[in-house]
Amino acid sequence: MSEAIATSAATGAASATSVAATVPDTSVAATVPATSVATAVPAASIAVGGNFYDTVTNPELKTWIQSKGWKGVEAMADSAHNLEKMIGAPADEVFRLPKNPDPATLATLFDRLGRPASADKYELPVPKGMTPDVNYIKAMQETFHKVGLTAAQAKALAEANGAYSQAQLAQQAKDYELGVAADEQALQGEWKNGYDRMMNQASTAAKQLGFTTEMIDGLESSIGYAGTMKFLAGLATKLGEDNFVNGAPRGGFGGDATPAEAKAEWAKLTLDKGFTEALMNRQHPGHGAAIEKKSMLMRLISGGGKV
């Protein structure tokens, strides 16, 4: 009986040994290599209870991270992500302008903002109807490039300047027309019946004396339209051609004289004894003619209708 038990125990032990040999060990030690944990977590990894930035070797950077109060790598990444969204551009597209930038720094900034490679790359439109000023355009291109304008900014500025110039020219033309109209009205009031003759006299004098359009424009810009017409008509008078109308002598003192001319003629006649005698003496053969001439002069002086 005891032998049987011993034999049975031996057999059981052998069976147990067989099971251990045939069933693989499913423990961690059997399935995970001894070096796996060491490989996944370096020896210098975060110690239990340490901070995520403990492995940072740069002291300045480490201090900066500590001052931010981030609780982990995710919080630090989230902060960087939000900053980029707020700025609206990644770090390589952001440029910080120094308080006192030097020319080289400014040049880099201008280029990154879109300044053309050279001044001649700017396209500056010229308003319709205006003659391009090549020298002016070149000077503006160089200035725009110097101050760092983009091509779009320079074009917009040129268009605005052109629009303003056109508006100014239009206003100047309108003001000139209004000025001429006012001057013509003033001359008509001054010359009265002699207006047409004096204007023809001024025009004829300008042609005969060789005045160009540019010369006349220069006179107008200096003394005005009315002053120019008076000047030219006065030249004809001083040259002894005050009776010159439309290229031919007018002859005699007529009903198209100006009030000033009529006054001068009347003053001259009052000093003429022959005329005054005829005017005062009803029996004088020239009395009728003297009365008629006096009436004509009085009407011209007062600006009455042509006689």
- Alpha-carbon distances, residue 134 vs 48, 146, 151, 152, 166 (angstroms): 76, 18, 18, 20, 18
* Residue 182, in any domain of the structure: no
Indicate the number of domains in the chain.
Answer: 3
| Same domain assignment for residues 197 and 241 | yes
Look at residue 28 and tell me whether its pLDDT is greater than 80.
Answer: no
The percentage of the chain sitting over the pLDDT mark of 90, rounded to a whole number, equals 35
Look at residue 261 and tell me whether its pLDDT is greater than 90.
Answer: no
pLDDT tens sequence across 284-299:
778 788 788 888 888 8
- Alpha-carbon distances, residue 6 vs 17, 52, 247 (angstroms): 16, 63, 164
* Residue 165, in any domain of the structure: no
Q: What is the mean pLDDT of the chain?
A: 79
Provide the β-strand partners of residue 8: none
- Alpha-carbon distances, residue 302 vs 13, 219, 297 (angstroms): 158, 31, 9
User: Which has more confidence, 115 or 90?
Assistant: 115
Q: Please, which pLDDT band fits residue 117 given cuts at 50, 70 and 90?
A: very high
Average pLDDT over residues 81-85: 82
Between helix 134-147 and helix 151-191 the angle, nearest 10°, is 140
Look at residue 21 in the predicted model and tell me its pLDDT. Answer: 40
Look at residue 91 and tell me whether its pLDDT is greater than 80.
Answer: no
pTM: 0.51
Half-sphere CA count of 2, side-chain side, radius 13 A: 0
Q: Please, which pLDDT band fits residue 46 given cuts at 50, 70 and 90?
A: low
Percent of residues in the chain assigned helix, strand, coil, to nearest 5: 65, 0, 30
Look at residue 101 and tell me whether its pLDDT is greater than 70.
Answer: yes
* φ, ψ for residue 167, nearest 5 deg: -65, -40
* Residue 106, in any domain of the structure: no
pLDDT tens sequence across 241-250:
544 444 444 4
pLDDT tens sequence across 177-212:
999 999 999 999 999 888 998 999 899 899 888 999
Supply 246's token pair.
Answer: 């439309």
Average pLDDT over residues 128-151: 94
* Residue 169, in any domain of the structure: no
Q: What angle do CA 67, 72, 77 make, to 5 degrees?
A: 90
* Residue 140, in any domain of the structure: no
Cβ atoms of 154 and 121 within 8 Å: the answer is no
Average pLDDT over residues 121-147: 94
Tokens 């630090």 sit on residue: 76
Angstrom distance (rounded) from CA 30 to CA 277: 158
* Residue 79, in any domain of the structure: yes
| Same domain assignment for residues 266 and 209 | no
| Dihedral angle over CA of 33, 39, 40, 44, nearest 10 | 140
* Residue 148, in any domain of the structure: no
Cα four-point dihedral sign 233, 237, 238, 241: positive
| Same domain assignment for residues 228 and 287 | no
| Same domain assignment for residues 239 and 290 | no
| Same domain assignment for residues 265 and 243 | no
Average pLDDT over residues 94-104: 80
Note down the domain range covering 212.
190-249
| Same domain assignment for residues 195 and 238 | yes
Look at residue 263 in the predicted model and tell me its pLDDT. Answer: 84
Look at residue 214 in the predicted model and tell me its pLDDT. Answer: 93
* Residue 14, in any domain of the structure: no
